[in-house]
Amino acid sequence: MSAVGLDLSSLHQMFPELAEDFSSQLNAAVKDCRERSHVEKPRVVLLKLKITPNKKDGADVDISPVLSQTVPVSEFEPVTGRTGVKNQILFDFAD
Protein backbone atom coordinates (compact mmCIF):
# COMPACT_ATOMS: atom_id res chain seq x y z
CA MET A 1 0.00 0.00 0.00
CA SER A 2 1.46 3.36 -0.99
CA ALA A 3 0.65 6.70 0.57
CA VAL A 4 0.05 9.80 -1.57
CA GLY A 5 -1.07 13.34 -0.86
CA LEU A 6 -4.60 14.41 -1.76
CA ASP A 7 -4.92 16.42 -4.98
CA LEU A 8 -6.87 16.12 -8.22
CA SER A 9 -4.48 13.60 -9.76
CA SER A 10 -4.44 11.39 -6.67
CA LEU A 11 -8.26 11.45 -6.59
CA HIS A 12 -8.16 9.73 -9.97
CA GLN A 13 -5.83 7.08 -8.55
CA MET A 14 -8.06 6.48 -5.52
CA PHE A 15 -11.34 6.56 -7.45
CA PRO A 16 -10.70 5.61 -11.12
CA GLU A 17 -14.40 5.81 -12.03
CA LEU A 18 -14.62 9.40 -10.75
CA ALA A 19 -13.12 10.92 -13.91
CA GLU A 20 -15.58 9.05 -16.11
CA ASP A 21 -18.56 10.09 -13.98
CA PHE A 22 -17.38 13.71 -13.85
CA SER A 23 -16.88 13.79 -17.64
CA SER A 24 -20.33 12.32 -18.17
CA GLN A 25 -21.98 14.99 -16.03
CA LEU A 26 -19.89 17.74 -17.61
CA ASN A 27 -20.86 16.56 -21.11
CA ALA A 28 -24.53 16.45 -20.10
CA ALA A 29 -24.35 20.05 -18.86
CA VAL A 30 -22.66 21.23 -22.07
CA LYS A 31 -25.22 19.33 -24.18
CA ASP A 32 -28.07 20.94 -22.25
CA CYS A 33 -26.56 24.40 -22.86
CA ARG A 34 -26.39 23.70 -26.58
CA GLU A 35 -29.88 22.23 -26.81
CA ARG A 36 -31.55 24.84 -24.59
CA SER A 37 -29.50 27.98 -25.16
CA HIS A 38 -32.58 30.09 -24.36
CA VAL A 39 -32.27 29.04 -20.68
CA GLU A 40 -29.69 31.47 -19.35
CA LYS A 41 -29.32 30.01 -15.87
CA PRO A 42 -26.00 28.21 -15.40
CA ARG A 43 -25.61 24.47 -15.36
CA VAL A 44 -23.48 23.39 -12.42
CA VAL A 45 -21.34 20.29 -11.96
CA LEU A 46 -19.90 19.99 -8.47
CA LEU A 47 -17.24 17.72 -7.05
CA LYS A 48 -17.36 17.66 -3.27
CA LEU A 49 -15.33 15.64 -0.84
CA LYS A 50 -17.17 14.13 2.08
CA ILE A 51 -14.70 13.87 4.96
CA THR A 52 -15.67 11.97 8.09
CA PRO A 53 -13.72 10.65 11.08
CA ASN A 54 -12.52 7.09 10.67
CA LYS A 55 -14.46 4.86 13.05
CA LYS A 56 -11.47 2.62 13.81
CA ASP A 57 -8.93 5.38 14.39
CA GLY A 58 -10.10 8.87 15.29
CA ALA A 59 -6.80 10.34 14.10
CA ASP A 60 -7.60 9.20 10.54
CA VAL A 61 -10.33 10.35 8.21
CA ASP A 62 -12.41 8.72 5.49
CA ILE A 63 -12.78 10.65 2.25
CA SER A 64 -15.35 9.96 -0.44
CA PRO A 65 -16.11 12.04 -3.50
CA VAL A 66 -19.65 13.24 -4.15
CA LEU A 67 -20.65 14.43 -7.61
CA SER A 68 -23.77 16.50 -8.13
CA GLN A 69 -25.26 18.32 -11.05
CA THR A 70 -27.82 21.08 -11.39
CA VAL A 71 -29.62 21.68 -14.66
CA PRO A 72 -32.17 24.50 -14.58
CA VAL A 73 -35.70 23.89 -15.70
CA SER A 74 -37.30 25.99 -18.41
CA GLU A 75 -39.46 28.87 -17.26
CA PHE A 76 -42.88 29.33 -18.78
CA GLU A 77 -45.25 32.27 -18.97
CA PRO A 78 -48.53 31.63 -17.13
CA VAL A 79 -51.73 30.94 -19.02
CA THR A 80 -54.96 32.23 -17.43
CA GLY A 81 -57.69 29.70 -16.77
CA ARG A 82 -61.34 30.56 -16.15
CA THR A 83 -64.36 28.51 -15.19
CA GLY A 84 -66.60 27.58 -18.11
CA VAL A 85 -70.32 26.83 -18.29
CA LYS A 86 -70.03 23.20 -17.10
CA ASN A 87 -67.51 24.05 -14.37
CA GLN A 88 -64.65 23.18 -16.74
CA ILE A 89 -61.46 25.18 -16.70
CA LEU A 90 -60.96 26.97 -20.01
CA PHE A 91 -57.71 28.58 -21.07
CA ASP A 92 -57.30 31.54 -23.39
CA PHE A 93 -54.06 31.59 -25.31
CA ALA A 94 -52.84 32.81 -28.68
CA ASP A 95 -51.96 30.34 -31.42
Query: Over the stretch 64-92, which tens digit does the pLDDT of each residue have?
Result: 999 999 988 777 777 778 888 888 888 77
Q: Count other C-beta atoms under 10 Å from residue 36's C-beta.
A: 15
pTM over 0.75: no
- Identity of the amino acid at 66: V
What are the residue ranges spanned by the domains of the chain? 8-91
The pLDDT > 70 percentage for the chain reads: 96
**Can you say how many angstroms the Cα of residue 15 is from the centroid of all Cα atoms in its chain?**
19
